[in-house]
Amino acid sequence: MRLFVAVLPPVSAVQELVDAVAPLRSAAEAERLRWSAVEGWHLTLAFLGELPVTEVPAVEELLGRVAAGHGAHRLRLAGGGCFGDRVLWAGVEGEVWALRRLAEAVRAGVGELGVETDQFGFHPHLTLARAGSTHGQRRAERRAAAGGLQRLAEQLAEYRGEEWEAAELHLVRSETGSGPSRYTTLRSWPLARWSEG
């Protein structure tokens, strides 16, 4: 199974972002983009790749322990950016330090199980769209594409969605093929709630 670990924003926060992104989808710069399916929007903490079904119970046990050791925290979807000429994303604000610690704990834990995560450092974001292949494009075309993505990201610069509570950790299965990727939550765990005092 192709798996990743994520935090999912609530429907109301997703809808706000849908409304903010709607004008971008009709921009000229958006013509070559593949927009991610709204129902699959998430904040990836760790991409686990293809795992044999026999390894999933150990990963689930680990994620249960990680969730129990990390508290719920407040986040909001805000701003935007791009990774080169390939990916347009919405950013995250709020208690991002807590989200970062959660991601680090997940990555370290699955690493101890012998599961390799992606090689990129954790950058909290929600992927909105991906560009088509740049293979075979001339340098000028790639530069133009990167500029187009940057202009779309700039239109999200002032966006600040509602604040929401990240209260669950999710193990998600990704199925690819024709059309957008399809995501199914296999299991969820509540993040800890500690009383003050």
Q: Is pLDDT at 100 greater than 70 in this prediction? A: yes
* Mean pLDDT across 44-73: 95
Predicted local distance difference test score (pLDDT) of residue 115: 86
Predicted local distance difference test score (pLDDT) of residue 76: 98
Kindly state the percentage of the chain with pLDDT values over 90.
Answer: 66
Q: Provide the CATH number for the domain formed by 2-190 in this structure.
A: 3.90.1140.10
Give the H/E segment covering residue 16.
helix 11-25
Predicted local distance difference test score (pLDDT) of residue 197: 39
Tell me the H-state helices in 26-129: 56-68, 96-112
The answer to whether the predicted template modeling score (pTM) of the entire model surpasses 0.85 is yes
* Mean pLDDT across 133-157: 68
CB crowding 119-142: b at 16 or more within 10 Å, else e = eeebebbbbbbbbeeeeeeeeeee
From residue 39, give the alpha-carbon distance in Å to each of 34, 44, 91, 175.
15, 14, 18, 14
Mean pLDDT lowest among 111-125, 126-140, 148-162, 183-197: 126-140
User: What CA–CA distance (Å, rounded) separates 138 from 76?
Assistant: 38
